Amino acid sequence: MTERWVVLEPLDTVTIRDGRAFDMGQESVAHLTLPSPATFAGAIGSIYDSTPGLARRDPSARGTRLPRQVQGPIVVRRGVDGWGALLPVPCDVVVSEDGEVGRLVTGERFAGVRSDIHDQVPVLLAATDADAEHPEQLWWDAQQLQEYLHDGEISGYWVDAPWQVESRSGLAREADRTVAEGMYYSIEHLRPEPDVGFAGRCIDGPDRPLEGTVAFGGQGRRAEVHGDVPPVRLPGLPGDFPGGRLLLYLATPAVFPGGSWRPDLGGEAELVTAAVDKARVITTGMADRRSGSFGAGRLMWAVPPGAVYYLQFRDEDAASAWAGQVHGTALPQADDWMMTAGFGLVLTGRWTEG
């Protein structure tokens, strides 16, 4: 098996909508979303072969004309030691109104509380401070996340956001390029900080130079391709899992089999509880170069990065064996192509009761 890390560094703002329709008009705003694994893998695939949607139309192309699998995107920032990963703060980390950082806990005092998923998870998580909430758009570097996964240490130092959100105004146009009446709208753009990009690990595939630029981030926008960069460091595999307790951290969006919010564990472990943020919209579609249109796509609800699942295995050995198989890989997804495109990339850690 061969591995190549590739970084796409946007040369302009990035604007990627989640694909849902929105009404034009003075009060209309098209909200952006971060590049999904499908968007990223599509850009990577176009560097290898320019045929749109090839990996989905022809699975035999994976590993021959295209990488067999792309794992990403991981947000990265370039420093003196190369490209360093920036990862979403886990969803069970909360911040109180006075700025105190803590973690959601389990305990007997929550016994008897019922929810609409009590048949799926036996334990609920709650904050010791009633006013504490999970922060949005906060990031840790790989070392901070590793300390959390390995030792449960919670860092209150947030890595600076890798971009600024800008609002741009636009006008819809008729087929003859004239302005459509009443079709004024606003759309959000991400302006990445200098030396910020999106990285992915390409597994197997043809050996060819990866360089130049590629379409990425909206119409007319491109990203510089940094091919064969040194491996981006991600948190390592813990050495043990006391009591068979394993924490599963989601590094990229996931659409689990059946559209479920939880992974399919195949009976190997019990899902004790979980911390999951609001769902992320994923849409798919294939471009038709002859007509310039997009074919029918799908709208799916994905579990967002940063979600954590508290798993209980029968013993430490079973947890260690399972972690060794899945750490740094993609879990099964609703469709095979999603797993090869980078959805469901997970890392493992440990958790303690209480």
Q: Quick check: is 185 in a domain?
A: yes
Q: How far apart are CA 232 and CA 195, in angstroms?
A: 14
Q: Quick check: is 63 in a domain?
A: yes
183 touches 24 (CB < 8 A): yes
Question: Can you give the residue range of the structural domain that contains 168?
Answer: 3-349
Q: Quick check: is 354 in a domain?
A: no
Structure tokens at 1: 């098996």
Overall number of domains in the chain: 1
Q: Quick check: is 289 in a domain?
A: yes
Per-residue pLDDT tens over the stretch 33-75? 788 898 899 899 999 887 877 887 888 888 888 999 999 999 9
Q: Quick check: is 320 in a domain?
A: yes
Burial of residue 174, with CB atoms counted within 10 A of its CB: 0-12 exposed, 13-18 middle, 19 or more buried: exposed
Along the 354 residues of the chain, how does pLDDT read in single tens digits? 789 999 999 999 888 765 555 555 555 555 667 888 988 998 999 998 878 778 878 888 888 889 999 999 999 999 988 999 999 999 999 998 888 898 988 765 555 666 777 777 878 788 877 778 888 779 999 999 999 999 999 998 998 889 888 877 766 666 777 766 666 667 778 899 999 999 999 999 888 888 899 999 887 889 999 998 999 999 999 999 999 999 999 999 999 998 889 999 988 899 999 999 988 888 765 555 455 444 556 778 899 999 999 999 999 999 999 999 999 999 999 988 888 899 999 999 999 876
Q: Quick check: is 73 in a domain?
A: yes
57 touches 63 (CB < 8 A): no
Q: How far apart are CA 171 and CA 2, in angstroms?
A: 47
Burial of residue 134, with CB atoms counted within 10 A of its CB: 0-12 exposed, 13-18 middle, 19 or more buried: middle
Residues 6+ apart with CB under 8 A from 343: 37, 38, 252, 253, 254, 255, 302, 330, 333
The strand pair at 101-103 and 139-141 is best described as unpaired
Angle at 203 between CA 81 and CA 147, to 5 degrees: 45
Q: How far apart are CA 281 and CA 304, in angstroms?
A: 9
What is the model's pTM? 0.89
Per-residue pLDDT tens over the stretch 251-298? 999 999 988 899 999 888 999 999 999 888 887 655 554 554 445 567
Q: Quick check: is 228 in a domain?
A: yes
Q: Quick check: is 162 in a domain?
A: yes
